Amino acid sequence: MSITMTPIGTVHGGRDAPEDDDWGRSRARIDLDPARFDAEALAGLDAFSHVEVIYVFDRVGDDQIVSGARHPRGNTAWPKVGIFAQRGKNRPNRIGVTVCDIVSVEGLSLEVQGLDAIDGTPVLYLKPVMAGFAPRGAHREPDWAREIMKNYW
């Protein structure tokens, strides 16, 4: 079974290399495909502070995909964990999901800050961040998950 998707738009600007850290100040624009959408599609998004961007790591080759376990970022100081227990980009289906700040919405363009996707990345979907969809109950994560995020933003 395979599922075919068509990107709804593209990332423009921001960084042009997938580095590990310092994404917090990166600003970029997501432009919707004008052949399929008009400004109605983004109407009301500016009432939210944050948007969840679902995109594709399209520069990751098939031979780079990991389906088992590995050390996050190849760092052996951190435990070897399954690809579904980490957020690295070399993953089956190459999907990225990131919450960004909404800077502005204008016509078919959405300007965001803190998007960890590079210039030219295809975008599959956008969702407003609602407090009601935040994790319910107490949060728990291993130490390495805190360490890996130390300089990320």
Cβ nearer to its own copies, comparing 13 with 129: 129
Give 100's DSSP letter: E
Taking the complex as a whole, how short is the minimal distance between the CB of residue 132 and its own copies, in angstroms? Answer: 3
Q: What region does 62 belong to: left with phi over 0, alpha with psi -120 to 50, or beta?
A: alpha
Cβ nearer to its own copies, comparing 15 with 87: 87
> In whole angstroms, what is the distance from residue 31 CA to residue 17 CA?
20
Cβ nearer to its own copies, comparing 13 with 88: 88
Taking the complex as a whole, how short is the minimal distance between the CB of residue 16 and its own copies, in angstroms? Answer: 19
Taking the complex as a whole, how short is the minimal distance between the CB of residue 48 and its own copies, in angstroms? Answer: 5
> Do strands 95-106 and 9-12 pair parallel, antiparallel, or not at all (unpaired)?
unpaired
> In whole angstroms, what is the distance from residue 149 CA to residue 86 CA?
12
Cβ nearer to its own copies, comparing 15 with 45: 45
Write out the H or E segment, with its range, that includes residue 146: helix 143-148
Taking the complex as a whole, how short is the minimal distance between the CB of residue 11 and its own copies, in angstroms? Answer: 14
